[in-house]
Amino acid sequence: MTAGLKRRQAGWRYRANVALRVLAGTVGAYLVAALMAAMLARTLPMSRVEAVTNATMIAYLVAPATTIWAFLARGPWRALAGVALAAGVLALIIWLAGPPA
């Protein structure tokens, strides 16, 4: 480990960076997965109960992908904004789709 990296790691900027990404990668990732499950359950073209099982299975793949992306995004704010954007779009679709009859 270089001395420069070590010094940077001790700073508050680095700590804030990690904290924000952890927030995006945990709470954010779960939020996106939950909304993805909710969105697919309402929109998948199949019977209600089958849409629920398929939606749940797909949503599990979204969570780790979001977590990883949160740590690969160019900056911590970008990570948070990306998660918020995805959550917003999903929430909008859920709202537009409305509860199944």
Query: Which residues make up the interface to other proteins (CB under 8 A)?
Result: 4-5, 8, 13-14, 17-18, 21, 33-35, 37-42, 46-57, 59-60, 63-64, 67-68, 71-72, 74-76, 94, 99-100
**Could you tell me the two tokens for 34?**
């939950």
CA atoms within 13 A on the CB side of 67: 11
Please state the closest distance from residue 89 (CB atom) to other proteins, in A. Answer: 15
DSSP at 44: S
* Residue closer to other proteins (CB basis): 13 or 85: 13
74 touches 21 (CB < 8 A): no
Please state the closest distance from residue 7 (CB atom) to other proteins, in A. Answer: 9
